Structure 1
Amino acid sequence: MSTTQTATLAGGCFWCLESAFNSVDGVISAISGYAGGHVENPTYEAVCHGDTGHAEVVRIEFDSEKLSYREILEIFFALHNPTQVNRQGNDVGTQYRSAVFYHNEAQKLAALGIIEEMTNEQVWPDPIVTEVTELNNYYPAEDYHQSYFKNNPQNQYCAMVVAPKLAKFKKTFADRLR
């Protein structure tokens, strides 16, 4: 029986999520892409215009014997602010929304459960707005988006936004890194 599972998550710019998840022990791959829209084979430019309905996502293949779906969600919610509607910081638009695109009923229940726990524990001062939606499509992003931070650390956005977020992530989840 295969222990490989898939998670598809949206939490702002996919460069941040992809870079973080690719450093987690138990993650086989994290691929930047697009999900949740109504246009087939969208391009980055079309998604950025906000009229395709897609979110920037990361599709994570992971070994469930090393890393649980719950742990994937814990990392996800630590990597972004799930209380911001259609944005993450200065990145604004529906393509930057917070969403869990579940692959099965167990993932749906896990996502709803962790959101309820965080709400009850008042982890965030504002309400969590993360969408929990069945995955209806997924398209990998263009090749130049894959491993973007690793390949472009000098990029201004990477230096100002991705690098500090990853530094905080690595400190918080040091025991989960490869």
Structure 2
Amino acid sequence: MKEESNLRTALLAGGCFWCTEAVFERLEGVHEVVSGYTGGSIKNPAYREICTGRTGHAEGVKITYDPDVISFRGLLEIFFATHDPTTLNRQGNDIGSQYRSAIFYHTEEERRQARSFIEMLEEERIFNGKIVTELSPAGPFYPAEDFHQDYYKHNRSQPYCQVIIDPKLEKLRTLYKSKLKNTTNAV
């Protein structure tokens, strides 16, 4: 296993963090995915506050990854393939600024890579609409309450998981099978 000092962190928001977490925790090179809140104005927000949309936080994930196994660009590719970056403050039936598409960059290089990737997607007309993904400097990240962590893993039989998350994971398996961990958890 790689030494902790060689690992990097990415902060991404692609709608409901249950979905985003379920996607990224299956990738080879990803060591940890934590669901939480970022990009807002109050310290230590709780889910009940985030749901109002008044704190400015997005539901996001903090991804700890090995850049020698999966690059930041590789994370971006999967991020854009598994959510709709063209809907402002919305993912499907989840509506509000807490469900916005956002990349919270840690370095100027991450910002540059994200901007370049978005420009490439738009030039290639990969999506029918304009990409509205926010690019913002990373700020504080607050882990969500324990019951939100590994939500899909513990609640696969819930209708939300079956209707919303399962299709994202099927798309991930179809398009990125070679990037998945070789475990039964990867399904």
User: Which residue number corresponds to residue 180 of structure 2?
Assistant: 177
SS in 2 for 1:173: helix
CA distance in structure 1 between the partners assigned to 2:11 and 2:173 by the alignment: 21
1:9-158 equivalent positions in 2, closer than 5 A: 9-158=12-161
Specify every segment of 5 or more residues in structure 2 that has no aligned partner in the other structure, as ranges: 182-187
Letter in 2 for 1:152: N
CA distance in structure 2 between the partners assigned to 1:171 and 1:122 by the alignment: 21
CA distance in structure 1 between the partners assigned to 2:18 and 2:82 by the alignment: 12
User: How big is each residue's C-alpha offset from its partner over 1:66-96, in whole Å with a ceiling of 9 and x where there is no partner?
Assistant: 1100001001000101000000011000000
Number of residue-to-residue matches in the alignment:
178
What TM-score, normalized to structure 1?
0.98
CA distance in structure 2 between the partners assigned to 1:172 and 1:91 by the alignment: 25
User: How big is each residue's C-alpha offset from its partner over 1:18-54, in whole Å with a ceiling of 9 and x where there is no partner?
Assistant: 0111110000111100000001101111101111100
Letter in 2 for 1:161: I
SS in 2 for 1:99: strand
What TM-score, normalized to structure 2?
0.93
Q: Percent identity?
A: 48
Runs of 4 or more off by more than 3 Å in structure 1?
none
The alignment's C-alpha RMSD in Å is 1.0
CA distance in structure 2 between the partners assigned to 1:110 and 1:138 by the alignment: 21
Specify every segment of 5 or more residues in structure 1 that has no aligned partner in the other structure, as ranges: none
